[in-house]
Amino acid sequence: MSNLKANPTMPLQFVYTNQDFVTDVRRSSGNGPWMATPPTKFDTTVQAGWTDRMERGLFRYHLGDLQTRILPGSHGYVAQLNIQRGIERRKPQEILSIQQEFNAKQFNFNKINPEEIIFEMIKETEREADLHHSGQMHQPCRMVVLVNVSPLEFGHCLFVPEPSCCLPQVLTKSAIQVGIESVLLSSDPGFRVGFNSLGAFASVNHLHLHGYYLDQELKIESMPVKPLLPEKGLYRLLDFPAGLLFYTESEEVEKVARAICEVTDFLVEGNIAHNLFMTRGCPPCDHIQNEKSLGSRKGVRIAVWPRISCFGAKEESAFNVALCELAGHLPFKNKKDYELSTEKNVMGIIQRYILPDGEFHRLEQQLTRHLMDL
């Protein structure tokens, strides 16, 4: 079971095992509200720590309830007005390459106020638990969870693997795995995790993932998919925007994380920017499912969008096209665009950043062959 360990000279430690994953999450119907489930220790630790830092004034602005509306249309875009993030967030670093090396002189997460750290996540396997109890030292994977001082939504935090290792913004298998496991540790299906590569609106070149709570349903949770390599958890999204989709339940996390990492490594080597989004979702299917299947959220859907790189490009005035926008969550920077944008407008902006159909299909074939050869 998960537990918290306090040390006066160290951040709070959140220790968990596979036994802490929540597998009984579902909607009451395909498009209805979430069925209420008690918050987990993970949820209460994130939310209490985040709220405490907000009350202590550690953020760049106070985030209240955001104005939210669902854009009319088949995509169900969730639009939110978040003017202050567009104004107050730290200026993004100059990015010249998807493979750009870490630069200690630039801002990185070793330079933050230590009070921004909520806790450290440490996974303890059965073997490590045995070593721990026998008095032997072990070195588990350590993930530092800190508040994002320019939040998108409630609970917006950053997951930074071993900050002192100074890893560039390139996904690793362990970072992907802990991202998926964070979703499984939450009983709130509105908890999402995502990643922006360099050239895909990542603003800091120091490995990190984003996590936050968004109550509204996103279409990606139940969007139909086409099987590509289902034995490796790989599918293709059958709706806009074109992307790859992985799916895993609690017992397959490590295997699927490895396959995702093979894909993102391939993209990095090919200098292809990408965004990734993890959310509770129903099992993959290429046709209309029954209500019971549509309501299930026991697994995690991980979307990967290869996209056109943006280096030094001017930011959009309405919203930037990054991990949450591709998933259907649109934080608008100004009131006019928030009030007047239509689904057609939104799709037109997103279209400028995603790969053309022919290029995407060629890449999909390359990635499928690459995974088959492994």
The CATH number given to whatever domain includes residue 196 is 3.30.428.70
Give 225-268 pLDDT, tens digit per residue: 999 999 999 999 999 999 999 999 999 999 999 999 999 999 99
On whether the pTM is more than 0.85, the answer is: yes
Residue position matching structure tokens 């925007």: 241
The larger pLDDT score, comparing residue 37 to residue 225, is at 225
Is 149 in contact with 60 (CB distance < 8 Å)?
Answer: yes
The residue-averaged pLDDT of 208-224 equals 95
The larger pLDDT score, comparing residue 264 to residue 126, is at 264
Q: Give the range of the structural domain holding residue 278, as residue numbers without chain letter.
A: 3-372
Q: Could you tell me which residues are beta bridge partners of residue 331?
A: 80
CA angle 267/219/68 to nearest 5° reads 110
- Is the confidence at residue 102, as pLDDT, over 50? yes
| Percentage of residues of the chain with pLDDT beyond 70 | 89
Number of domains the chain is built from: 1
pLDDT band for 32, please (50, 70, 90 cuts): very low
Give 273-303 pLDDT, tens digit per residue: 999 999 999 999 755 566 667 778 989 999 9
Residues designated catalytic: 208
